[in-house]
Amino acid sequence: MEKKLSKKALSKSFHNWYYGHLTCFSQEHMQTFGYLCAMLPLVEELYEDEDEKAKAMNTYTAFFNTEPQLGTVVVGITAGLEEARANGQEDVDEETINGLRAGLMGPIAGIGDSLVVGTVIPILLGIAMGMSTGGSPLGAIFYIIVWNLFAYFGMRFMYYKGYELGGKAVDFLIGAQGEALRESISMLGGIVIGAVSATWVSVKTSLELFNEAGEPYLVLQDKLDAVFPGLLTSAFIIFCWYLMAKKQMSPIKVMLLLVVIAFVGVLVGFFNPGLAY
């Protein structure tokens, strides 16, 4: 009799991954234990013999780490493979499953980081910041609700599609359709991030030159605004992008550098923090 995973087992497997993909996270194991938690209800349903269960679970003790939202598809695919192995399919064994896991976790991590971390999250944060104008809590509420709904239903969709489609899901993610989708979302993310930068980042100089009578005859910010409004803001944003994208500096180092620039700028009178004592 052919073994078929029940909806209950698949649902429990998905929720184990959704809530526990970072279980016992460490530099040595990363998401390995979360993966084990996700596969446990499937193995328990597919096998009756305890030795077979132990052998099946041992497959998933190998190192695993990927972007957890999009990477859910890998868990779904291996759920289908485990079902096939339990039914005696000869070309599905431990080596096949771990080879697929190892081969997918890197590419999907790159795709997931660019789409989810680099695009979706900044878009949602940009909308939330706009809704928070004046100290409104709506922005924070919007982000918490929308992000959790997106993460849950997105991961659920990826899990079940991985289980249903198997290798076809991989073809979509790394094929022409997936590439077109990634480019479209990246373009939208770039537009939103640019709009957020123009709206929320403001860099102005307080540099003024005075004549003998003590009256300012050159207000640098006014001159810059007359030629190119927002020039300093644009320059700082491009400078930060250059350091992170071209020089591979970490965001922490870039922020520390900006603190130093701001400190020196205040000392020489180029910036005015507007502090009063």
Shared-domain flag, residues 173 and 49 = yes
Residues 212 and 161 in one domain: no
Say yes or no to pLDDT of 150 above 80.
yes
Residues β-bridged to residue 219? 208
The DSSP bridge pattern shows strands 208-210 and 216-219 to be antiparallel
The number of domains in the chain is 2
Query: Is residue 1 assigned to a domain?
Result: no
Q: Please indicate, yes or no, whether residues 124 and 177 belong to a single structural domain of this protein.
A: yes
Q: What is the rounded average pLDDT for all residues in the chain?
A: 82
Report the predicted TM-score, pTM, of the whole model to 2 decimal places: 0.62
Q: Please compute the mean of the pLDDT values over residues 224-228 and round it to a whole number.
A: 86
- Between residues 188 and 29, the one the model is more confident about: 29
Residues 108 and 172 in one domain: yes
- Which pLDDT score, from 0 to 100, does residue 10 have? 92
Give the separation between CA 79 and CA 164, rounded to whole angstroms. 10
State the chain's maximal CA–CA distance in angstroms.
99
Q: What is the mean pLDDT of residues 43-51?
A: 87
Asked whether residue 175 falls in the same domain as residue 254, the answer is no
User: Do 141 and 219 share a domain, yes or no?
Assistant: no
Q: How far apart are CA 132 and CA 130, in angstroms?
A: 5
d(CA 53, CA 47): 6
Query: Could you say which of 194, 227, 246 is where a domain stops?
Result: 194
Residue 180 lies in a domain: yes
| 148 and 35 in a common domain | yes
| Residue 213 pLDDT class (50, 70, 90 cuts) | confident
Structural domain of 160: 7-194
To which H or E segment does residue 148 belong? Answer: helix 138-165
Within this chain, do residues 220 and 180 fall inside the same structural domain, yes or no? no
Which residues, 6+ apart, have CB-to-CB distance to 199 below 8 Å?
A: 129, 130
Domain boundary among 176, 194, 212: 194
